[in-house]
Amino acid sequence: MAGLRAGLLGLGMMGRHHARVLRSLEGVTLAAVADPGGDPHGVAAGLPVGDSVQSLVDAGVDYAVVAAPTAYHEEVALALAEAGVHVLIEKPLAPSTEAADRIVEAFAQRGLVGAVGHIERYNPALQSLRARLENGDLGDVYQVATRRQGPFPSRIADVGVVKDLATHDIDLTAWITQSPYTSVTAHVAHKSGRTHEDLVAVVGTLGGGVVTSHLVNWLSPFKERTTVVSGERGSFIADTLTADLTYHANGTVETTWESLAGFRGVSEGDTVRFALGKREPLLLEHEAFRDAVLGVRNDVVTLAEGATTVRVAEAVLSSAAAGQTVAL
C-alpha cells in the first residue's frame, strides 16, 4: 500500500483518538500535528507541535484530519483546499449552512477528497441495520426514533446540543433510510446556564412519508445511544454504545388472550439478537478515508452530505425559535 503523510489539527479529547488511530493505520504516517493550545494529552509523541494549519501544509502532508472546534472549520478547510490537501473534518462540517457550502465548493473546484466525521455510519450495528433495510428485511419503513442523551461534555463550548449531538441522528437517519428530510418541528431548552441549547426534541418527516423523532440532551446522568426502526414486518433496535442489533418480528401466531389482543396493533413474534463483528468505528472511518484518498473506494461521508446535515440542524433551530414546522 502506498504511503501517505497525514497531519492532525486539534490535539484535544477527540484529537488524541485520531492520533492513536492514525499511528496504527496501514499505509499512513502521522507526519505533523498542530494546535495553538498546545498538546495537553501528549499526542505529539516527539513530533513538533505546530500552532496553525500552515505548519501542516509546510510539513508536506497528503491529507489532514481536522479536530478543531467547529467555529474554525471553515477557515481551516479553505486553507487546506488552497494548499491542495485532502481533508477529514470532524462533525459538524461547519457552524452554518453558508460556511458548509463554501467548503463543499472549494474542494469540488480543486478535485480534492473531503469527508465529514459522522462516525455513527461506521458503527457495526448501524451498518448491519442499513444493509438489512436495503435487503427488504423490514418491508416498508414506517418510523425511525432515536435517543441520544448523557452528561454534558465540558469540552464542547462553541455549539449547542443540536449541532454537536443531534447531527449524529440527523445524518444516520437519512443514511440508513436513504431518504432526505422534508420537514422538522422542534423544541429546545436551556437548563444549564449556557448560551446554547442543551436539550432538543425533534419530530420530522422523510421522503416517502417516513416519520422520525429525535430526543437529544446533555442533561441525563446516564448515557444512551439508541435507534429504533419500525416497519411492516417488525422493528430493529440498534444500540450504538454496545454495537448490538436486535430484531423484534411481528408475530404470525394469533393472540387469543382477549385483554392483550385488544391493545396490540400487531402480535409479538420472535426476537433475534444478531452476532456482529465489532471493529472500532473510528478505525473504519479512517480506513475509508485513506482508501478514498488512494482512489480505492469511495464510501466516506461526503462534504455535500455533511452540508445537508448542517442545513437540517439549522432548520431544527429555526423551528424551535419560531415555534412552527420548517419545510426542507
Reply yes or no on whether the pLDDT at 163 is more than 60: yes
> What CATH number is associated with residue 320?
3.30.360.10
Reply yes or no on whether the pLDDT at 194 is more than 90: no
Of residues 99 and 263, more confidently modeled: 99
Reply yes or no on whether the pLDDT at 280 is more than 90: yes
Q: Do residue 17 and residue 150 come from a single domain?
A: no
Task: State the Cα–Cα distance between residues 327 and 319, nearest whole angstrom.
Answer: 9
> What CATH number is associated with residue 14?
3.40.50.720
What per-residue confidence (pLDDT) applies to 296? 94
Return the percentage of the chain with pLDDT > 90, whole number. Answer: 87
73 bridge partner residues: none
Q: Count of domains in the chain?
A: 2
Range of the domain at 184: 121-278+310-327
Q: Do residue 132 and residue 224 come from a single domain?
A: yes
Question: Would you list the DSSP string of 107-158?
Answer: HHHHT--EEEE-GGGG-HHHHHHHHHHHTTTT-SEEEEEEEEEEE--TT--S
Q: Do residue 99 and residue 206 come from a single domain?
A: no
Task: State the Cα–Cα distance between residues 246 and 109, nearest whole angstrom.
Answer: 43
Q: Model's pTM, two decimal places? A: 0.93
Reply yes or no on whether the pLDDT at 181 is more than 80: yes
Q: Do residue 178 and residue 251 come from a single domain?
A: yes
Q: Do residue 32 and residue 138 come from a single domain?
A: no
Average of per-residue pLDDT across 40-55: 94
What per-residue confidence (pLDDT) applies to 2? 62
Q: Do residue 77 and residue 89 come from a single domain?
A: yes
Q: Do residue 97 and residue 213 come from a single domain?
A: no
Q: Do residue 79 and residue 103 come from a single domain?
A: yes
Q: Do residue 266 and residue 125 come from a single domain?
A: yes
Q: Do residue 105 and residue 254 come from a single domain?
A: no
Reply yes or no on whether the pLDDT at 90 is more than 80: yes
Output the nine-digit C-alpha cell for 94: 461547519
Split at pLDDT 50, 70, 90, the class of 159 is confident
Q: Do residue 180 and residue 254 come from a single domain?
A: yes
Average of per-residue pLDDT across 221-246: 97
Q: Do residue 191 and residue 315 come from a single domain?
A: yes
Reply yes or no on whether the pLDDT at 202 is more than 90: yes
